[in-house]
A and B are shown apart, each in its own frame.
Chain A
Amino acid sequence: MTNQPPKRMYSIAAALASAALLLGAAACGSTDQTTDASSTSTPGPVSTLLPESVQKAGILTIATDAQLPPNNFVGPDGKTIIGVSVDMGNAVAKALGVKATFVNTKFASLITGLQAGRYDIAMSGITDTAERQKQVDFVDFIESGQVFIVPKGNPGKVDSQDAMCGKNLSLVTGTISVDLAEAQSAKCVQAGQEQVKILKFPTVADALLQLTNGRADANIANLGKAAYQSKESGGKLEVAGKPFATSYDAVAVKKGDKEMIAALQYGFEQIIKDGTYQKVLEKWDVQDSAVDKVVVNGGDSLEGSTS
């Protein structure tokens, strides 16, 4: 059990919040009205599959970079982290009989913190790639293709990978989109066309601003993120193209942490079986990204993987 006060405070807050939700649910006489799927019933016994330290603490510490809607982002109150990762993390934790605590961390510390044992797992819309598997292990739980986010009316006419030649793409550093655009750029040059002009930004917001700004023609994101962003943009942005380069979004686990991987697989199995998994995806409008079964390090088996 760690003695970090913030963690403890979070867990107390989480406990209070879920208690309140439980009361609310009981008062309504129905569990369907609460939005947080994880808090609708008391957690079962702590799963013995989990690493001992997590079992003892009763808390699964999850690192996330809260600037990636709809996966993980700060909610309308300006402080609570919400999103697919959060609901999914809560659901899995509950299935394993523990509480999930989310820590908002920047990308670099997400992975180093995982490696240093500061966090138990990282859930941040991370794409599983063969290259990254050298550093961490992945439990893949969302499968989705990439599409283009373009300004309204698609003035740059970017609706397929080949249409990217000579166009300005504003992308988010560290996402699979950069690899895809670079690979396409090489293809463009080979075919005697202009290369893809790639601008890289640290956050989604910075990258998408360039679309409204008129500096870039398109952004690449997976279907769920693209749909969310275009909806949130109030008509300034839209989705273009058919999904391509299917990839997995995954939970990142410290390399070789077999117990954690087994526990997560079990946890996901449970929530897929009882329907919580599908409910979370539906809540965020990404039900098309569902997997039948989570796989471990499956990233290199998909067409979108890069190495």
Chain B
Amino acid sequence: MAAQNEIRAKPVPRPGLWALTVVAVLVAAFLVWTFASSPNVHWDVIANYQFSDAILQGLLVTLKLAVICEITGLLLGIGLAVMRLSSSRVLSWLSGIYVWVFRSVPLLVQLVLWFNLGLLFPHIGIPGTPFVVETNDVITGFVAAILGLTLHEAAYNAEIVRGGIAAVDRGQVEAAQALGMNRALLLRRVVLPQALRVIVPPAGNQFISLLKNTSLVAFIAGGDLLSTAQNIYSGNFEIIALLIVASLWYLLLVSITSFLQGRLERHIGRSSAHSTKPRRDEPAPAAVAGA
């Protein structure tokens, strides 16, 4: 190739952008420094509690609740979305009513209701048989939390999944039907894999909000991360310090979640023509044009 044909493009100078970058970095550094050096932020107290048994115990509860309820909530949500889109009117309505109810009732109300189920029904089971138990023995704080969070998550996930399925082009379904696929196979092979691409980002978002919603279990003596921090600060009045302790853990958890979500999105989107970002190892389209 003749060297003189190559275009040596010089980037347009953008002094405004550089200035803005410098200002932004300085402002950010100033904010971090102000916060870190403030005598009112008791870093010694934070260091003391960050890995304390009580806090780690709370962290474990938060993690357990988030992971269990994400799985159960997602499974139930997928079921509900499929019901919603099913050709049976009754199933579709039932699913719609479920979503309507569980998205409307505040999570806090639900948690308190489940936890205090014993007030309404002291015993649960089939009357007249040995299969009757004390409600309070079955519905422990943890069980009430799982119930409330799962049912709540399922309603939101159902909408996310429904949106994902609806986003799959109608032609895909018709083509699969033309090939003679039955509904289950069509869903598994054609619709869901494509819907996943649309589902994962909002579902990841939903998981992060679940992670923090677990703090509402404080109202049912749940003992999660945030309520543990609150329990400690209500005793020693180190309110900001303990809130920072909890926040640092939430930051870590959400960072891990975001990282995994990014990986998952790239994995699912690898065959897609319009994945959001060009991969680094791919040549940029402009370079190809010059060859």
Contact = CB atoms under 8 A, between A and B. Distances in A.
Contact of A212 (B119, B227, B233): B119
Interface in B230-268: 230-231, 233-240, 243
Contacts of B204: none
Contacts of A131: 235-237
Contact of A173 (B118, B234, B243): B234
Interface stretch (B16-24, B155-163, B171-179, B217-225): B217-225
Kindly state the interface size class of chain B when it binds its partner. Answer: 20 to 34
Given A170-B221, A215-B136, A107 B234 contact: yes
Interface in B110-161: 112, 116, 118-119, 122, 136, 141
Contacts of B230: 108, 173-174, 202
Interface string A118-148: 0000000000010110111000000000000
Contacts of B219: 201-202, 206
A178 B231 contact: yes
Nearest to A215: B136
Contacts of A174: 230-231, 234-235
Main secondary structure of the interface of B (DSSP, over half): helix
A235 interface: no
Contact of B236 (A134, A199, A201): A134
B134 to A, nearest CB: 8
Nearest to A108: B239
Nearest to A127: B235
Nearest to A107: B234
Given A107-B234, A174-B234, 11 more contacts: A112-B240, A135-B237, A170-B221, A173-B218, A174-B231, A178-B231, A199-B141, A200-B218, A200-B231, A201-B218, A210-B221
Interface of A: 107-108, 111-112, 115, 129, 131-132, 134-136, 170, 173-175, 178-179, 199-202, 206, 209-210, 212-215
Interface of B: 40, 112, 116, 118-119, 122, 136, 141, 218-221, 223, 227, 230-231, 233-240, 243
